[in-house]
A and B are shown apart, each in its own frame.
Chain A
């Protein structure tokens, strides 16, 4: 047992670091809280990684992955966080991609996988519905088979960045006999890939607490989807959806990004003053930060233990719910303490300033409270933290 890095691993770190330094455009690094990453910006970084062959570290090499081991992935995440690169959005590369190479047929793999890697197709996730949140399997969007098509009717919601998407992967109900509260409710669900340009699809924005247009409602009105767009078997979609939820959750804890965010928070607290002395120097605030950092250190090792077990072929599965719960709790705590740190300059609404106008207050304060409000989503999405506790209670503790 040893946590030092081998010379090969150090060399790998140096390679990643210099690649990022040479290739990450300045305007994409460490964006201010008030500036939302645009479609073009996400794609610019996606394409830089794609060209290098690093866009999909988790995929098997035969489909264009990197075959990196756990340590290399850890190093890569750390370096991206360190340089504050844009995120690679999970919907294509981390979510639907693995479902496709695991369950789809050869033709589908050939059609979709290369375009996910290259960024030509932007994917969004069609899971939640107005009546199906934590109880996802109660979803009502229907797909009725008519010849070689399905006719899809219904509504998805909270669809992240659907306004930019070319494709949506959708859970739809194909066995109507099972859309009641029966115990087999999961069995009538099918996994469909739907082209967002298909007639009958309407996307309507939902504005969230910080004023951002991040999520959407997506309406399906007699949308014709070819049967060849179905992944796997009809009525077996729940299996694929569940696979996606428990599949390889490295990075879900967001440890590397949180470490960087704590560094930023410490800088802010060092600049802010209380009675003429740095806020960071006060007992009260420095202990809050210490507690946060200690929590994060423990989580980092929980993640490393999970990754180490997975690299030996042990499936972490439901145990990884802890990474989601603790990871999001910590992310939220950071935003909360940041708002506390900036004091009065948490007040101004960052979106109230025009493009050519200087916001008030110190640069580091701009948009921090918006970010805090926005990040309340983290304990709700991806299976709320209460649902994650239900999962642990059932699958780990056997309750």
Chain B
């Protein structure tokens, strides 16, 4: 067992953290997310130049050969700065699917991800499906050398910014059958892709995406036909790990801000941090943060283990971090009092990000059930 970072990993953390401290202050986040297009292609380009996209990708495809620990380092820093740019969607989800594709697919797309030339969104959720990846009304039917997609995808995060969609669709079986799920890479400019774009409560942008007889080359099928569900679970578990450390980064900012505020805000003639009721609340926030940091590390290190262990670790992380995010977010607002309610202060924005991260890839209730079933 070894819990130390390599020299390269420490350098990676320092360079992301310095770049964001200089270029991604809270005021930038607000302006960036509220001005169309709601993200910054220039920041994206600079991420690529810093090697963030390349960091976890394999060397033979333009990557730097890192892994989940490198992703964890990057996303923790992104979380600290409330970054909206779709790093996890593109590098972890997009890179995760393509990295398990054919040689030709890897050679075509991974170097482009590494170079920051591709922006990917993951279109998996459907209005009726809630957190079940297999509950698919969207279909893909083979027609000559193409698949033809029809259906609707809900809340595709980063959809407005993406040039490429990774789409789950039913190629066989009934609406909720495990078998018959397939994964496709779809050029968003394809004829028949209709999007309705909108802002999300946590400062991102999303799309409702409708597919009307969209033709996708058969070569864009990723993974085995009809047997995509396990692949989807694997890649989303990897994304869960990445978002877990993003949440940990956000929690740390809230914890520090709250403790700091309680030392300066005076009531009844003393800093409110002198009140034991608030001290113990903040200690509970601290413990929630520490336990979350621990479980983010755990899921990162267990991604390579056998399927059941990996799934349990991912669900454990979702449960711990979902609960902790809520606790820390709510109490950060509470202890900041009226100021915590304002749009002006950063606290509420972190609270909103943490709240929405609980929903992504299944909330606490869903993952508690998944964990229990796997145990």
Interaction A to B: yes
Stretch from B113-121, B217-225, B284-292 that touches the partner: B284-292
Verify if A267 is at the interface (C-beta below 8 Å from B).
Answer: no
Partner of B1 from the list A4, A283, A290, A390 (CB cut-off 8 Å) is A4
Residues of B within 8 A of A393 (CB): 276, 279-280, 282-283
B291 touches A326 (CB 8 A): yes
Verify if B69 is at the interface (C-beta below 8 Å from A).
Answer: yes
Verify if A208 is at the interface (C-beta below 8 Å from B).
Answer: no
| Closest-CB distance, A292 to chain B (whole angstroms) | 11
| Closest-CB distance, B44 to chain A (whole angstroms) | 28
Verify if A397 is at the interface (C-beta below 8 Å from B).
Answer: yes
Verify if A389 is at the interface (C-beta below 8 Å from B).
Answer: yes
Q: A1-B3, A2-B301, A304-B3 are in contact. Are A397 and B375 (CB under 8 A)?
A: no
Q: Can you name the residue of chain B whose Cβ is closest to the Cβ of A3?
A: B301
Cα A272 to Cα B373 in complex, Å, equals 18
Kindly identify, within residues 327 to 379 of chain A, every residue whose CB is under 8 Å from any CB belonging to chain B. Answer: none
List 15 contacting pairs A-B, 8 Å CB cutoff, sorted by A. Answer: A1-B4, A1-B5, A1-B69, A3-B1, A3-B301, A290-B368, A293-B371, A293-B375, A294-B368, A298-B298, A298-B316, A298-B320, A302-B291, A393-B283, A397-B283
| Closest-CB distance, A399 to chain B (whole angstroms) | 4
A295 touches B283 (CB 8 A): no
B1 touches A398 (CB 8 A): no
Verify if A9 is at the interface (C-beta below 8 Å from B).
Answer: yes
Verify if B319 is at the interface (C-beta below 8 Å from A).
Answer: yes
A399 touches B259 (CB 8 A): yes
Verify if B103 is at the interface (C-beta below 8 Å from A).
Answer: no
Most buried by B among A293, A389, A396: A389
Verify if A308 is at the interface (C-beta below 8 Å from B).
Answer: yes
Residues of A within 8 A of B319 (CB): 290-291, 294
Q: Can you name the residue of chain B whose Cβ is closest to the Cβ of A286?
A: B372
Verify if B297 is at the interface (C-beta below 8 Å from A).
Answer: yes
B-side interface residues, number (CB < 8 Å): 42
Interface size class of A (residues with CB under 8 A): 35 or more
Q: Can you name the residue of chain B whose Cβ is closest to the Cβ of A293?
A: B375
Verify if B25 is at the interface (C-beta below 8 Å from A).
Answer: no
B279 touches A322 (CB 8 A): no
Q: A74-B1, A289-B372, A389-B283 are in contact. Are A397 and B294 (CB under 8 A)?
A: no
Most buried by A among B2, B69, B292, B293: B2
Verify if B263 is at the interface (C-beta below 8 Å from A).
Answer: yes
Verify if A299 is at the interface (C-beta below 8 Å from B).
Answer: yes
| Closest-CB distance, A115 to chain B (whole angstroms) | 35
A2 touches B291 (CB 8 A): no
Residues of A within 8 A of B249 (CB): none
Cα A97 to Cα B373 in complex, Å, equals 46
Verify if B100 is at the interface (C-beta below 8 Å from A).
Answer: no
Partner of A305 from the list B3, B287, B372 (CB cut-off 8 Å) is B3
A2 touches B2 (CB 8 A): yes
Verify if B295 is at the interface (C-beta below 8 Å from A).
Answer: yes
B273 touches A399 (CB 8 A): yes
Cα A301 to Cα B273 in complex, Å, equals 29
Residues of A within 8 A of B316 (CB): 293-294, 297-298
B290 touches A322 (CB 8 A): yes
